[in-house]
């Protein structure tokens, strides 16, 4: 299988930093995506990693280690509006263009 594992839920404080981890099976890996989904809304694209290292985009950064089958999404200076579900999705060579999504991590930001 191609299990995508991420924590079910996390809680953090406004202004803090939070790291959401995602692990996947490495065979056939061809790119990893992070999406944000607010309650009742559609997933929206946050970041894409295909090479090892850190991709930074404002308050959000995403890291990838292909050899370890591991990624994380780092959110800095947390705001209340960051409360949402964060979905890790992986594309595999033998799956064409489709993405395999994790179950999502429900992040609650508290004042």
**Interface contacts to another protein, rule CB under 8 A:** 31, 33, 41-45, 48, 50, 87, 91, 95-104
- Please provide the DSSP assignment of 86-106 as one string: EEEEEEEGGGTT-EEE---EE
Taking the complex as a whole, the smallest distance from the CB of residue 41 to another protein amounts, in Å, to 7
User: Residue 33 and residue 103: Cα distance in Å, rounded?
Assistant: 13
Q: Which is nearer to another protein, 36 or 109 (CB)?
A: 36
Closer residue to another protein in complex, CB, 69/102:
102
Specify which residues 89 forms β-bridges with: 33, 101
Measured from the CB of residue 89, what is the shortest distance to another protein in angstroms? Answer: 8
């Amino acid at each position: 299988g191609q299990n995508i594992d991420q924590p079910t839920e996390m809680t953090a404080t406004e202004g803090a930093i939070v790291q959401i981890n995602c692990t996947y099976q490495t065979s056939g890996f061809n790119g990893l995506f992070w999406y944000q989904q607010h309650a009742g809304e559609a997933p929206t694209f946050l970041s894409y990693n295909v090479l090892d290292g850190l991709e930074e985009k404002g308050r959000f950064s995403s890291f990838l280690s292909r050899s370890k089958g591991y990624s994380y999404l780092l959110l800095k200076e947390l705001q209340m509006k960051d409360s949402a579900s964060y979905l890790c999705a992986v594309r595999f060579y033998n799956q064409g263009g489709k993405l395999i999504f994790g179950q999502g991590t429900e992040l609650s930001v508290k004042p």
